[in-house]
Amino acid sequence: MCLGRGGVCTIHWLSFSRNFGKESALLAGLRAASGDYIATMDADLQDPPVLLPQMYDILLECECDNVATYRTNRKGEPRIRSFFARAFYPYKQSF
């Protein structure tokens, strides 16, 4: 799917000399990005890319500044990931 200029997608990537961490990579990508809308997604595809068209439609319909997703269930996910998600997210919500 491409929502780019005239339906043409151009993909660019940045490369670091070493691993500076996810946050540094995300910030560098956002600084280098251009366009009306920018989508970020983890490489593990925890959030399915098929949701991007729906998210784009919501942006246009609601005149929102941003759209985010969250999982309502963890069906089909490895048990260890589900365990850490259940342990971490309630802690995160307390802030």
Q: Residues with Cβ < 8 Å from 25, sequence gap 6 or more?
A: 14, 16
> Which range, of 30-39, 48-57, 78-87, averages the lowest pLDDT?
78-87
- Write the pLDDT tens digit of every residue in 10-27: 777 788 999 999 899 999
Cα–Cα–Cα angle for 2, 75, 84, rounded to 5 degrees: 100
Mean pLDDT of the chain: 78
**Amino acid, res. 40:** T
Assessment of whether the complete model's pTM goes beyond 0.95: no
CB contact at 8 A, 40 and 29: yes
Helix (H, G, I), strand (E, B) or coil at 73: coil
